[in-house]
Amino acid sequence: MFLVDRLRGMQDVLPPESDFYSKIELLMRSCAEFYGFSLIRTPVLEFTELFNRSAGDSSDIVQKEMYTFNDKSGRSVTLRPEFTAGVLRAIVNGLSGSVVYPLKIMYFGPCYRYERPQTGRYREFYQFGVEIFGAPSVLADLELICLANDIFNKLELKNVNLEINAIGCASCRQNYLDAVKNFFASIKDDLCETCKLRLSTNPLRIFDCKNLECKKLFDNAPHTVDFICNNCLSEFENLKRFLEINKIRYIVNTRIVRGLDYYTKFVFEFVVNFDGSDLTICGGGRYDNLSASLGGPDLPATGFGIGFERIVKLLQKTNNSIKINKKNKVYIVYMCENAKFVAVDIVSKLRSLGIQCDFDVVGRSVKSQMKYANKIGYDFVAVIGENELKKNNINLKNMSSGTEISFNLNNFHSDVYNYFKKNCDNSGLDISNS
């Protein structure tokens, strides 16, 4: 064993699996960019108070799961357990007075929760998410659901179900909270010890319980939609109509309350069956009151987060390949010392034109260079030796079909560029560089 082992609940992602991760991230980001979202990066470490106030003191995240410690100045700091609170803090502090709303933000990065590791759940986990700030309309919630649905369609995930619920504004949510508290108080003796504690702190957390005996009691518990005001009900009906216009199927699940205290009005989850049980791969909703509760301005907001590792597990189980922005890659093989200098020049010129290419940097034989290029998935290979240098000619071999195309050595980079642009479905060009 190596001197230092990996911490439980953490993971190493090495090539080639890391390439798979990168492709999934790129697909998600590309979809979000298409919807008009821009990337934000926030610190992984925040003051503990930010999460205490946003997630709620009674939430499992705050009570059990946060990585909290005092720094060298004695301040209580926490590794972020989720993104939303930090993103909101950054928006209010960094863009105050200059931002144009609605503001569409996306993010990707690690979060930390000290909980029992299991399938698709780690103590360090990655999350992709989006937020829309300054948009009170239900159309913003529709945008989020449409985006998440597009992402899962492009990933070719099967049997993904959308579940939605109306949980009401602050006023009608309190009415529901009182009804839930009274209901569970009447059957308190039947609850597990954890749920008995939740009854006195936050009764809605009882619905998060995984105890089978507790879950049996949920059937007769009050439903959120029976306690929401006419305005919230009307908006919920509009959301359902908009989803139907977009041909997005949904299920109304009145037991979805989400695990954080800041949600209001609408919540939703995308759920898929994994090894015989339901697995939530995306969750979100509206949180119009969070900004004000943290001392910021009134700022309507809605967002979602996707559990990245869970998506990876699903795709690996179904052997899905990520079909995204495939670029035809070129590997330059050199056979002699003189060819090495020419290879360096060609690689430089191809890269400047936006064509992904590479060459040997460890001193392999020609045969080993060819094997390496094939093993790591290069689509085209060009071999340069004394003969090619004398004839001023080089062949580009398609590794899939075996066909070869001859190009003038002096113009190889520009001719290959034009060939890819004209003949390949995916041009092989990085358009951002070309």
Q: What is the pLDDT of residue 430?
A: 43
198 lies in a domain?
no
CATH number at residue 102: 3.30.930.10
Q: Is there a single domain that holds both residue 313 and residue 378?
A: no
- The answer to whether 307 and 282 are in contact (CB under 8 A) is yes
Token pair, residue 59, equals: 């939430």
Angle, CA 25 vertex, CA 23 and CA 28 arms, to 5°: 110
- Tell me: do 300 and 345 sit in the same domain: no
Token pair for 126 = 């990655």
Is the residue at 306 inside a domain?
yes
Name the amino acid, one letter, at 125. F
Structural domain for 241, as ranges: 17-169+228-317
Residue 298's CB is within 10 A of a number of other CB atoms, namely 9
Do 311 and 360 lie in a common domain?
no
Residues 250 and 275 in one domain: yes
- Domain for residue 324, yes or no? no
What are the tokens at 213? 């005996």
Instruction: Work out how many domains the chain is built from and give that number.
Output: 2
* 142-148 mean pLDDT: 95
| CATH number assigned to the domain comprising residue 388 | 3.40.50.800
268, 291, 317 — which closes off a domain?
A: 317
For 108-127, what is the mean pLDDT? 87
> What is the four-CA torsion angle of 355, 153, 147, 307, rounded to 10 degrees?
-90
Q: For residues 355 and 410, state if they share a domain.
A: yes
Regarding whether 290 and 335 lie in a shared domain, the answer is no
125 within a domain of the structure (yes/no): yes
Q: Of the candidates 59, 26, 55, 133, which has an alpha carbon nearest to the alpha carbon of residue 90?
A: 133
Does 12 map to a domain?
A: no
Question: Are 261 and 349 in the same domain?
Answer: no
Say yes or no: 368 and 310 in one domain.
Answer: no
Q: Do 263 and 295 share a domain, yes or no?
A: yes
Looking at the structure, tell me whether residues 234 and 304 fall in a common domain. Answer: yes
The whole model's pTM is what?
A: 0.80
- Sequence-distant (6+) residues with CB within 8 A of 316 are 20
Per the CB < 8 A criterion, the answer to whether 334 and 342 are in contact is yes
Within a domain: 176: no
Q: What is the pLDDT of residue 434?
A: 34
Residue 400 burial (10 A CB sphere; 0-12, 13-18, 19+): exposed
- Residue that finishes a domain, picked among 317, 344, 378: 317
Residue 362 and residue 232 share a domain:
no
pLDDT per residue as tens digits for the range 246-295: 999 999 998 787 655 678 888 999 999 877 778 899 999 999 988 988 88
Secondary structure percentages of the chain, helix, strand, coil, to 5: 45, 25, 35
Tell me the pLDDT tens digit for each residue of 50-94.
988 776 555 566 667 899 999 999 999 999 999 999 999 998 887
Q: Give yes or no: residues 99 and 121 share one domain.
A: yes
Q: Express each pLDDT in 288-340 by its tens digit.
A: 988 988 888 899 999 999 999 999 988 988 776 665 445 678 999 999 999 99
AA identity, residue 2: F
The last residue of one of the domains, among 285, 317, 349, is 317
Instruction: Tell me the per-residue pLDDT of 153-180, one tens digit each, with 9 for 90 and over.
Output: 999 998 999 999 998 887 887 888 888 8
* Domain annotation covers residue 286: yes
